[in-house]
Amino acid sequence: MHGVVLQSRLNLASCYGWGMAKLRLRVDLEPGGAIGPGKIELLERIDELGSIAAAGRAMRMSYRRAWELIDSINQCFREPLVSKQLGGPDGGGAKLTRLGRDVVRHYRAIEQKAARATAAHLAALQAAGEKPARRSAAAVAADDSRRRMTPRS
């Protein structure tokens, strides 16, 4: 059975106090491919820069790794999402096909709708995970001193 499975996970950075909770989506495509934020960003960079090598460099990955990801993406769909032009006077390059642009657009739309739909729940999870700030020894001592000086009735 072919279909799309959405998986989400809470951004781990938020669990360690590095910001607000964020939803990251990965779409599992039957019978075995997947596309998520990293592959989508790579497609967007290729569209912007016109080169797999330049897109890989912009994402701090080797050309080989970028090419392997593009090959796996192209295998997931009925037709390629990225087309490459070999060498020549303009030096070759790569561009997104119409289907490639459509896939990026659909993924980003899903991502935006999911973010809106889960915003309140993510805020609640973030709030539940926040720990009170640690107070300095000086602040604790000052409070203790004030409490001792305040008369009790």
pLDDT (0 to 100) of residue 65: 95
CA atoms of 101 and 28, how far apart (whole Å): 18
38, 46 Cβ separation under 8 angstroms? no
Q: Tell me which residue of 5, 62, 63 sits closest to 30, measured CA to CA.
A: 5
pTM flag (> 0.75)? no
Query: What pLDDT, on the 0 to 100 scale, is given for residue 3?
Result: 47
- Angle CA 17–12–64, to nearest 5: 130
| Averaged pLDDT, 78-99 | 84
pLDDT of amino acid 17 = 47
CATH number of the domain bearing residue 31: 1.10.10.10
Q: Total structural domains in the chain?
A: 1
Which residues constitute the domain of residue 106?
4-149
Segment 36-40 shows an average pLDDT of: 95
- Least confident segment among 34-38, 62-66, 82-86, 134-138: 134-138
Q: What is the pLDDT of residues 17-31, one digit of tens each?
A: 446 788 889 999 888
| Per-residue pLDDT at 12 | 38
User: Mean pLDDT over residues 5-27, rounded?
Assistant: 60
